[in-house]
Amino acid sequence: MSERFLVVPVAHAGESAFGDAPDGDSVFDAGAGEERRGSVPILRYSREPNKYGDGNPRESRPFINNTDDDKGTLYDGKNMALFEEEMDSNPMVSSLLSKLANYTNLMQGVREHEEADEDEGAKKQTVKSPQMGTFIGVYLPCLQNILGVILFLRMTWIVGTAGILESFIIVSMCCSCTMLTAISMSAIATNGVVPAGGSYYMISRSLGPEFGGAVGLCFYLGTTFAGAMYILGTIEILLTYMVPSAAIFKAEEKAQEADALLNNMRVYGTCCLTLMSLVVFVGVKYVNKLALVFLACVVLSILAIYAGVIKTIFEPPVFPVCLLGNRTLQNHGFDKCMKTEIIDNVTVTTKLWSLFCKGPELNASCNEYFSLNNVTEIQGIPGLTSGVISENMWGSYGPAGMLVEKAVPSVPASDASQDKHLPYVLNDITAFFTLLVGIYFPSVTGIMAGSNRSGDLRDAQRSIPIGTILAIATTTIIYLSCVVLFGACIEGVLLRDKFGDSVKGNLVIGTLSWPSPWVIVIGSFFSCCGAGLQSLTGAPRLLQAIARDGIVPFLEVFGHGKANGEPTWALLLTAVICESGILIASLDAVAPILSMFFLMCYLFVNLACALQTLLRTPNWRPRFKYYHWALSFLGMSLCLALMFISSWYYALVAMLIAGCIYKYIEYRGAEKEWGDGIRGLSLNAARYALIRLEEAPPHTKNWRPQLLVLLNLDSELSVKHPRLLSFTTQLKAGKGLTIVGSVLEGTFLSRDADAKRAEQSIKSAMAAEKTKGFCHVVVSSNLRDGFSHLIQSAGLGGMKHNSVLMAWPANWRQSNDPQSWRNFIETVQETTAAHQALLVAKNVDSFPHQERLGEGTIDVWWIVHDGGLLMLLPFLLQQHKVWRKCKMRIFTVAQLDDNSIQMKKDLQMFLYHLRLNAEVEVVEMHDSDISAFTYEKTLVMEQRSQMLKQMQLSRTEREREAQLIYDRNTASHAALNDKTDATPERVHMTWTKDKFCTERNRNREPSANMAVRDLFSMKPEWESLNQSNVRCMHTAIKLNEVVVNKSQGAHLVLLNMPGPPKNRGGDENYMEFLEVLMEGLNRVLLVRGGGREVITIYS
C-alpha cells in the first residue's frame, strides 16, 4: 500500500503524523486553536445522544452503548475524504464494530454493588467479562426459584384434598402457563440485548411505558409478597415442626389453636423480616454467597423424597395413624392407639380414654362417638405397592372444621356439637378447587430468574431459552411425579392432615423422605430462608429500575440509595409492603395474592410476544425460533383464566391496580419512546382505519368540523393569537381532527432549526390552551404558498381537514404591504375551491379563555343557506363549559316579497326537527334608497385603492395617508349617525298586509323618475363610481345597522361570509365590505360553508 493511503493509528498520531512532539502536547494547539503545520483534520465520533432515545445511557444510542472514551477516537487519512463531513454524526464502521466487540453488559443484580463494597474509595477493579454458562447461570437459579415452600408445606395437602386426577390438572395448567410464558419470554429475550431490569425491561420495552410501569409494579408487588410468603413458610416450619415450644401465644382450648398460630406467625415473621432486611442492607454479597447453600438444600430435599419413595417398596417407614371409627385423631396427647390396655392382668384406661371421658375410670361417662366406635391403627405410609393410589384418586373437599375421615364403616353419634373440642384432625380452611389453584401457582413462579441474570451469561441469547425451558420441564416432571407418588405412597387421611398432627406433628412430606424427616425439615427451612432473602434482594432493585426510568414520577425517590448504588429507600418500602403480607399471617391467604401479580406479569409477557409477532415489526428478529403468536395468545388466555379461577375478586383488584397505574403514567408520567409494540399496534390500527375512511366520504350524520387552524407567529416564533387555540378547544372538545399549522418564510435548509423551534412553541401553546391535535410547520418561499400547501396537503387519507379556522387581519388597512390582505383573500378563494368550510374570527384576542361566560346569547345571522354550518357551530360550542350558559338566537332576513310570519313558523319547525333549541326572529329589510353616506364611503374606498396603486409613497407618507383616509371615514360615519337619528326608522320588524301593499305601490314608481331624482342629488364625483361597489357597500351598511341594533350585546355573533370577488381587481374592496359588515361588533365569527350539507333532520 502506498504511503498516501496509510491510516495512522490514533495512539501514535503524535509521532507518525506530526513528528516528535513534546510530552503533553495535543494534536491541536490549545492556545490558538489552530491546527499544527501539515496536519490533517482529525474527526471525532459525536457523543450527541440519539434524538429518539429516552435519556437512559444504554438506550439513547442507536446500537448498544458508547462510552466517554469515544471522545478520544480520532480519524486521520485521505481515502475517506468524501465522507469527512458525515463522520461528526456517523462513525466509521470499523469504529462501530470495535465498540460492539468490546461491549460488556454488566450484572443487573449486585456485582457492581459488591465491588463498591469491597473497595470503597480504592481504585475500581477491572471488570471481567461474564463467564456463566447455561447450567450455572440459568438452569440452577430457575430450579431454585421454582422449587420451594409450596412443594414442602402444601403439596401433600393439595394432593389429598383434590385427589390425584384434579391435582394433576392443577399442576398441568400452571406448568403449561409458565412453559408458554417461557417460550414468549425466550423470544423477547433473544430479540436484542436485555440490559438492567430483566423481565421488567423486556415488558416495558415491548409494550411501552404505560404497560411497562403497570406490569413492572405488579411484578414488584408479586416479588414482595413472595418474600412475605417465604418468611411465613420459614416461621411455619420453625414453630410447627422444629421448635413448637418456642411459641409465644399458646392455646388453652383446641378452638383457639388457629388464632394462637397466626399471632405467633405475625410476631416471629416481623422479627424474621427485620433480620433479613438488615442482612440485605448490610451487604447483598452475603446473600449471593449463601445462594449455593440454599440451592444444595433444595436439591438434597428433592433427592431425599425420591429415595424415600423407592425405600417404601421394600421397607415402608413406620408412621402409624390412629383412627376412632373413621375419624383421624391428633397424636399429641397419647402414646398408644387404644382405649384400654391390660397391665398385670388388670384392664386400665389409656391417655386416649381420658381425652374423651370425664375420668380414667372404666365406668366414667364418655363421648358418645368414642363409646360407639373402636380405635384402629393404620400405617400412614403404606408404600408404593400398597394399592392406596386407587383411594386417593378422587378429591375430598369440605368446609372449615370438617373432620378428616377415612372411607371405612363407623357408627354415627347423635350429638356432634362437641367434636371441634376433641382431638380430631379438622380442616383449618374451606377447601375447593379454585382455592387450591391459587395456593399452588406460586410454586411454578420463578421462571424469570435466568432473564434477570442476563448480564452474567456468556451467551445470554442462547442460555436463557435453553436454561429456562429445561428448568420448567424438570420442575414439571418433579411436580407431576410427586402428585402421583404422594398419592401412591401416603394414606389419604395423612395427606389431608395439613400440619401432620396425626403423626406426632411431623412434616407429612418428611415422613416419606429417607433417611430422616429432618432432612426435609432442615432443607425446606433453609430453602425458604434463601428464597425470602432473594425476594428482599430482587424486589428493591426492580423498584429502583422502575424509578430510574422516570415513568412514575412519585417513585423517583426510590431510585436513590447508598453511595454504592444499594436501593436503601426501595428496600424500606419493600419491607413495609412485605410486613403487610406477614400481618395476614396465613400462607394460604398470601399465596393467591402473589399469584395474581405474577399471572398479570406473565399475561403481558405473552401479549408482548404475540403483538410483536403479529405486527411483524422490522426489529422483531428473535434468535429463538420456536415461538408462534398462537402459543402466546394461548398462554395469555391461560394466565387470564387462572387469575379468575384462583380468585375473581383478587383478579379484579390486581387489574384495577394495574389500570390505575397505567392511567397515572399516561396522565402524569414522563414521555418515553421505546419503540414498543403498543405503539406499533396503534400505527397498524390507524392505518387500517385510514384505509377504511378513504373508501367513502363521511355521511352528513357523521360530519363534524375537522379543523385546520392557521396561526401567525411573531419574530420570536411565539403564537400571536393563542385565543384562537382556546376557541378551537371549546369548539372541538377533544373530538375529531385538529391540525394547527403555520408558515415560515425562507428555505427549509436555512430555517429547519427555526421550524423545529416554531413547532415546539406551537405545541407549548396547544398544551397551555388544552388543544388536542397535531402541529404542522411549513417553510416556504412566501406565506401565500405556504398556507396554500397546508390547505391542500395537511392531513392524511380520510383524516383530512374539512374546515379552516383563522384570525381576521385586523391591521390590514395600516399595513405597508398589500400582500397581507391579498394572502387572506386568496386563502378564502382556495378554501372555496377546495370545498372546505372557512371560519374567520374577528377580535379573537377578546374571545374567552377558560373562564365561564355568564348568561347571554350566541347570535346567528342566517342570510344564505350554505349547508347548515351556522346552526351546527353554536350547538358544538354549547357543549363546552365556557359557553354552556349561552342561549342560541337565530336571525334571518326577509325581503319585500317574503311572508315573514310564515318564515318564522317554518324556521321554528325546521329547528324542532333538527333538535336544536333556539329563539327565532325574522328581520325585514326592504329596498331603501342608497344613502349619501354609502356613496361617500364607496368613493373613499375607491380613491384609497387608486392612490395606493399609483403613488409610490415612502413608508411614513403611506402611513399618514392611510390614517387620513381612516379619519375621514370615521367623521363621515358620525355625520350619518346624526342624520339617521332625526329620521324615522326605515327597517320594519314585522310586516302587515297594509304595510306590504303601501311599500309595493311606493316601489312601483317609474324608474326614470327615481333616476332623475337621484341624479339631481348626486355629487359630480359620484358619477364615476362603480355601481356594483355602491350596491355592495349599501348592503354591508344596512345589514351592519341591523346586526348592531340586535346583537351588539351578544357574547358571539356568527355571520354568513360573502364570497370573494372572482376578478383580482376588487380584492381590497372586498376587505372593505367585510370590515363595514363587522363594524361595531366585538366578537364575530364569519362562516363560509364548504358546499355540502352538514346537518340533517333524519336520525
Closest to 567 measured CA to CA, from 538, 547, 546, 544: 544
Where does residue 474 rank: exposed (0-12), middle (13-18), buried (19+ CB within 10 A)? middle
454 neighbors 105 (Cβ within 8 angstroms): yes
Give the 3-state secondary structure of residue 697: coil
Question: What average pLDDT does range 156-179 have in this prediction?
Answer: 94
pLDDT of 473 over the 80 cut? yes
Question: Which range, 524-533, 898-907, 984-993, is most confident?
Answer: 524-533
Question: What is the SS3 assignment for 781-833?
Answer: CCHHHHHHHHHHHCCECCECCCEEEEECCCCCCCCCCCHHHHHHHHHHHHHHH
pLDDT score for 71: 43
Name the helix (H) or strand (E) containing 740: strand 738-745
Question: What average pLDDT does range 138-166 have in this prediction?
Answer: 90
501 neighbors 427 (Cβ within 8 angstroms): no
Q: What percent of the chain has pLDDT over 70?
A: 74
Q: Please, which residues bridge with residue 893 across strands?
A: 923
* Tens digits of residue pLDDT in 1015-1030: 334 454 444 455 667 6
Give the 3-state secondary structure of residue 1085: strand
pLDDT score for 743: 92
Lowest mean pLDDT: which of 170-179, 660-669, 808-817, 1034-1043?
808-817
Name the helix (H) or strand (E) containing 94: helix 93-101
Question: What average pLDDT does range 749-761 have in this prediction?
Answer: 91
pLDDT score for 815: 67
Measured CA to CA, the distance from residue 51 to residue 421 in angstroms comes to 73
| Peptide bond between residue 515 and the one before it cis (omega within 30 degrees of 0) | yes
pLDDT of 86 over the 80 cut? no
Lowest mean pLDDT: which of 272-286, 842-856, 872-886, 935-949?
935-949
203 neighbors 602 (Cβ within 8 angstroms): no
Where does residue 26 rank: exposed (0-12), middle (13-18), buried (19+ CB within 10 A)? exposed
In the block, which residue shows the cell 407567529?
A: 713
* Tens digits of residue pLDDT in 190-231: 887 766 556 777 777 777 788 788 888 888 888 899 999 999
In the block, which residue shows the cell 339631481?
A: 1016
510 neighbors 291 (Cβ within 8 angstroms): no
893 neighbors 923 (Cβ within 8 angstroms): yes
* Tens digits of residue pLDDT in 764-788: 999 888 888 899 999 998 888 888 8
pLDDT score for 439: 92
Question: What average pLDDT does range 882-907 have in this prediction?
Answer: 82
Residue 754 Cα distances to 264, 528, 747, angstroms: 70, 62, 11
Which distant-in-sequence residues (6+ apart) come within 8 Å of 625 by Cβ?
none
pLDDT of 486 over the 90 cut? yes
Q: Tell me, what amino acid is at 26?
A: S
Closest to 528 measured CA to CA, from 258, 232, 757: 232
Q: What percent of the chain has pLDDT over 90?
A: 19
Question: Which range, 163-172, 386-395, 1045-1054, is most confident?
Answer: 163-172
pLDDT score for 582: 93
pLDDT score for 59: 44
Give the 3-state secondary structure of residue 494: helix
* Tens digits of residue pLDDT in 588-607: 889 999 899 899 989 988 98
* Tens digits of residue pLDDT in 510-566: 898 888 889 999 999 988 888 888 888 888 888 888 888 888 888 888 887 777 667
Helices (H) and strands (E) in the chain, counts: 35, 15
858 neighbors 1054 (Cβ within 8 angstroms): yes
Pairing of strands 327-328, 320-324: antiparallel
pLDDT greater at residue 682 or residue 439: 439
Measured CA to CA, the distance from residue 456 to residue 467 in angstroms comes to 14
* Tens digits of residue pLDDT in 339-386: 888 888 888 888 888 888 888 888 888 888 888 888 898 998 998 888
pTM of the model: 0.70
> First vs last Cα of the chain: how many Å apart?
83
